[in-house]
């Protein structure tokens, strides 16, 4: 467990101010419309066993950092799927098939999206094919098989698994349910984002009269972050400071914000935060993020294990929290930014701040979680 003096040395890697920031509610809601957002909530709140995930106060972490509040949206409790991804893929499957039970569903995944698509397919009685790269663990593959999917392993990285998924799906007339958009494939990724936006609906009710001053959003291809921005536009009547956090080795949103256009980056080393190890921001999220994001920050993998232990051992809150690898970068970046007094001032982080963080997943990769918890 890190001591206070160790934590006071934690650093972020890169930091960027978005010079094009100009949060425009109307523009954002033209990309993901109020109808699409509302329809997702209306549908998902009627799913069996739906209940809002907890919004937990990280009061013990706040004793060190001295803000007003730090909130943590605990997605480890999202149905029995252990991540926010349960809201996206499964919802997209349900909407896209429109009752057609003959369709075969396919997707490529780093793990959690595939689990959601497999679950959605199973709920709707559909066959499901899931493509994974060599970097996806067997324990993640096994969970998808347990939801009835056929798992197909592809040599190479995530992009290779996606290419194989597209090839085979085109050949066999399978319905791809992907969370990434490309030029003529935007409807399904939008549906997944609409599903994710349920998190912000819940938060807007859980936060009561308090106002969020800063929100830190993890990004892989940017779908989750953009969905939260759309949720902010839909459900809040004010604009918090929006901060994107990425693994330093896969900072595709930061690099794109820097130049004002989508930049593809090559990943030299895959981050342990597998779901966020993405080299290119997706099209629809980019349209939302490019003007709405205030700041981008990157973090190394160095603090993942320490943060997982602190969450599990009630060092950050009164409650034990099961937070997987992708749940940690919000906390790592918040501590890193707080340790840099100049930046802290620049972004207005102070004793009046209410910071919102996302615990995107629990022990979704049970083996990796145990390893990180005990190392």
Contacts to ligand PLP by CB under 6 A? 83, 112, 179, 218-225, 275-276, 278, 326, 360-361
Nearer to ligand PLP, 179 or 202 (CB): 179
In angstroms, give the least distance from the CB of 274 to ligand PLP: 7
Q: How far is the CB of 237 from ligand PLP (least distance, A)?
A: 25
Residue 289 or 337 having the CB closest to ligand PLP: 289
Instruction: Give which of 279, 324, 298 is closest to 157, Cα–Cα.
Output: 279
Residues 6+ apart with CB under 8 A from 221: 179, 180, 252, 278, 280, 281, 282, 285
Judged by beta carbon, residue 222 or residue 240, the one nearer ligand PLP is: 222
Question: Residue 193 Cβ, how far from ligand PLP at the closest point, in Å?
Answer: 8
- CA 26, distance to chain mean position in Å, is 24
In angstroms, rounded to a whole number, what is the distance separating the alpha carbons of residues 239 and 234?
A: 11
274's tokens = 């597998």
Alpha carbon distance, N-terminus to C-terminus of the chain: 11
Which of 247, 243, 255 is CA-nearest to residue 349? 243
DSSP bridge partners of 175: 105
Q: How wide is the angle at C-alpha 44 spanned by C-alphas 214 and 238, nearest 5°? A: 25
> Is the CB of 28 or the CB of 103 nearer to ligand PLP?
28
Least distance in Å: CB of 91 to ligand PLP? Answer: 14
CB 321 within 8 A of CB 56: yes
CB of 284 to ligand PLP, least distance (A): 10
> Any idea what DSSP says for residue 280?
S
Could you tell me if 271 and 277 are in contact, meaning their C-beta atoms sit under 8 angstroms apart?
yes
221 vs 146: CA distance, rounded Å: 26
Q: How far is the CB of 61 from ligand PLP (least distance, A)?
A: 19
Q: How far is the CB of 113 from ligand PLP (least distance, A)?
A: 7
106 vs 218, which CB is nearer to ligand PLP? 218
Comparing every residue's Cβ against ligand PLP, the nearest one is 275
DSSP β-bridge partners for residue 152: 131
CB of 337 to ligand PLP, least distance (A): 18
Instruction: Tokens for 323, please give them.
Output: 């937070």
Q: Which is nearer to ligand PLP, 103 or 271 (CB)?
A: 271
Place of tokens 């929290």: 321
Residue closer to ligand PLP (CB basis): 126 or 224: 224
* Residue whose CB is less far from ligand PLP, 103 or 214: 214
């Amino acid at each position: 467990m890190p001591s206070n003096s160790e934590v006071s040395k934690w650093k972020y890697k890169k930091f960027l101010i978005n010079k094009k920031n100009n949060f425009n509610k109307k523009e954002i809601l033209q990309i993901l419309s109020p109808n699409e957002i509302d329809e997702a909530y209306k549908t998902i709140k009627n799913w069996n066993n739906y209940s809002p995930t907890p919004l937990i106060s990280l009061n013990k972490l706040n004793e060190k950092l001295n803000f007003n509040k730090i909130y943590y949206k605990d997605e480890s409790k999202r149905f029995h799927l252990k991540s926010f991804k349960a809201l996206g893929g499964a919802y997209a499957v349900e909407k896209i098939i429109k009752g057609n039970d003959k369709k075969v569903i396919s997707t490529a995944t780093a793990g959690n999206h595939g689990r959601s698509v497999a679950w959605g397919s199973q709920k709707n009685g559909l066959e499901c094919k899931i493509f994974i790269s060599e970097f996806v663990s067997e324990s993640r593959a096994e969970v998808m098989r347990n939801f009835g999917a056929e798992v197909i392993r592809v040599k190479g990285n995530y992009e290779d698994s996606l290419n194989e998924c597209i090839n085979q799906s085109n050949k066999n007339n399978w319905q791809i349910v992907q969370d990434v958009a490309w030029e003529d494939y935007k409807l399904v990724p939008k549906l997944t984002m609409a599903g994710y936006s349920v998190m912000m609906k819940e938060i807007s009710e859980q936060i009561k009269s308090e106002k969020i001053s800063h929100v830190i959003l993890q990004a892989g291809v940017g779908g989750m972050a953009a969905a939260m921005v759309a949720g902010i536009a839909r459900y809040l009547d004010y604009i918090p400071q929006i901060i994107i956090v990425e693994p330093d080795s896969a900072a595709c949103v930061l690099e794109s914000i820097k130049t004002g256009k989508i930049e593809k980056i090559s990943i030299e080393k895959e981050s342990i935060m597998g779901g966020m190890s993405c080299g290119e921001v997706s099209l629809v999220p980019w349209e939302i993020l490019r003007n709405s994001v205030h700041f981008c920050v990157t973090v190394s993998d160095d603090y993942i294990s320490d943060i997982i232990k602190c969450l599990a051992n009630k060092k950050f809150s009164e409650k034990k929290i099961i937070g997987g690898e992708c749940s940690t970068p919000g906390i790592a970046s918040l501590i890193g930014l707080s340790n840099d007094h100049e930046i802290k001032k620049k972004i207005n982080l102070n004793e009046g701040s209410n910071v919102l963080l996302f615990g995107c997943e629990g022990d979704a990769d049970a083996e990796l979680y145990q390893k990180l918890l005990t190392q």
